[in-house]
Structure 1
């Protein structure tokens, strides 16, 4: 039986099958081993507690009214499904990834007509919740569409391979590293369930390829056919910085590179990264780095 579309997170009127599919792979780490791993010195960040691969998982789903302590990550490589949090119900399509934060009730299930094929894992650790908050991965935004799903799925496959090998510290560290990499990739992606991120990606690429030019918010907003205020709010939400501050960060990154690998003068470098006034450039550089461009160049690096 499938979950009825009218069923809400607080109801449990239908039966969902958590596992048991032809061709599936699944590994559950014994909970005493989870606790032991998280208390070992150097392994306290994250541990994969469960992982698997479910092909064409007909009737698959879970409904957790009582929250669990793990983040749930599911990559839909074929078919479709849905997930629910206290923020509502979200469709899940091929190419999308579901990230359900720990400590919150949720539900998810395969589409009745076109059941999903999933790579998935659960992970626990004290740094997961604050990391997800900083990354903007919340119960209100649990579905993301990476630009390229392949690297994410490759890492999730690596998680499962290490977990299937054995439960030694070496294998668990390797699996945890791959899982952490999945989360950081998803956090770095400005991927969302709507198309707003495409607008921002185009703007970011434009800024990166016009690093020397004077760029204004109204100019970028006009390209996106948005009001300046809407575009500015959208950009800061997706990138984490206002437009002009982001351009300054890009300019300074290029300036550091030129200071490190060339013998060009400070004035020449300032001009190459968009500052015709080298004194203004030096002031901006020191404001960000705490040292002047010349002092930065003289530092020992590498």
Structure 2
């Protein structure tokens, strides 16, 4: 599932056709399969046009900026905090706003349950009540497709699960009331749900509806440190749990908590605990569960 790099920082992962065909015939994934997914940060001038539609259903979560879509002869504006859903075989075109291009996470879906999920959404533009949660799920889809160490069928089951959560979250948002109005709580929940993902403070602030400086001030007031310090604390908590309750290698644990380089993870862990991950596993401090 190679990434195809086009626009700066864009991520795009496609499932080989033979794997999609196999998944559509398997007991679990035949209900919902992600055929490809990606992340596009503010792609200025980008536009897609499919006058005959597509075999897949498109789901795109707009996290910032704005865009437009023409679906079945009707034109729609998609702003930050909304999702675009285009059913399979529906003629459509879409693109980012020239003045404020959108930042979107997107995926293409197939499967027996997809038409019913799309019908429950009721229209091509869906307001998102919890943008931070929707982005976390969309980012999980992309991150799971990017992993090269998982087996094909097992990976697609996990990806399908994340996509199912995203679709049901959008359905729930369609009929829910106003979102909870605590940006700090929402930011903390996002960080806890995406320990293996990279987080930029401006993007996180936009997800919860405050300025980067205000979000940093909220974290410092509540935790004594900034956003990244809080994320590191969460990652170390998760790492300690994995070290004392699993047989996963240090490299596997590093990857699970968001460190691509196991040596960098070990340095961070030693700074926080005055011992290496291996030493911690052998003799965890008093009060920590043993192996």
1:131 Cα deviation from its structure 2 partner? 2.6
Matched, 1:66 2:52: yes
Matched, 1:75 2:57: no
Paired position in structure 2 for 1:255: none
Paired position in structure 1 for 2:112: 126
1:67 Cα deviation from its structure 2 partner? 1.7
Matched, 1:168 2:149: no
3-state SS of paired residue (1:157): helix
3-state SS of paired residue (1:130): helix
Give the counterpart of 1:43 among 29, 32, 36: 29
Distance (Å, rounded) in 1 between the aligned partners of 2:159 and 2:24: 14
Distance (Å, rounded) in 2 between the aligned partners of 1:19 and 1:165: 16
Superposed, which structure 2 residues align to 1:151-162 within 5 Å? 151-162=133-144
CA contact (8 A) 2:28 2:157 kept: no
Paired position in structure 1 for 2:10: 24
Distance (Å, rounded) in 1 between the aligned partners of 2:86 and 2:11: 21
3-state SS of paired residue (2:31): coil
Distance (Å, rounded) in 2 between the aligned partners of 1:136 and 1:114: 26
Distance (Å, rounded) in 1 between the aligned partners of 2:121 and 2:130: 19
Give the counterpart of 1:148 among 122, 125, 130: 130
Matched, 1:53 2:39: yes
Distance (Å, rounded) in 2 between the aligned partners of 1:60 and 1:19: 14
Paired position in structure 1 for 2:75: 89
Paired position in structure 2 for 1:7: none
Structure 1 gaps of 5+ residues are: 1-17, 192-196, 203-302
CA contact (8 A) 2:121 2:170 kept: no
CA contact (8 A) 1:73 1:97 kept: yes
Distance (Å, rounded) in 1 between the aligned partners of 2:162 and 2:101: 26
Superposed, which structure 2 residues align to 1:1-302 within 5 Å? 20-133=6-119, 135-137=120-122, 141-166=123-148, 168-190=152-174, 201=177
Aligned length: 173
Q: Does the C-alpha gap of structure 1 residues 145 and 58 become closer, same or farther in structure 2, counting only changes over 3 Å?
A: same
Structure 2 gaps of 5+ residues are: 179-291
Q: CA RMSD in A?
A: 1.9
3-state SS of paired residue (2:29): coil
TM-score (norm 1): 0.54
Distance (Å, rounded) in 2 between the aligned partners of 1:71 and 1:186: 15
CA contact (8 A) 1:19 1:60 kept: no
CA contact (8 A) 2:34 2:159 kept: yes
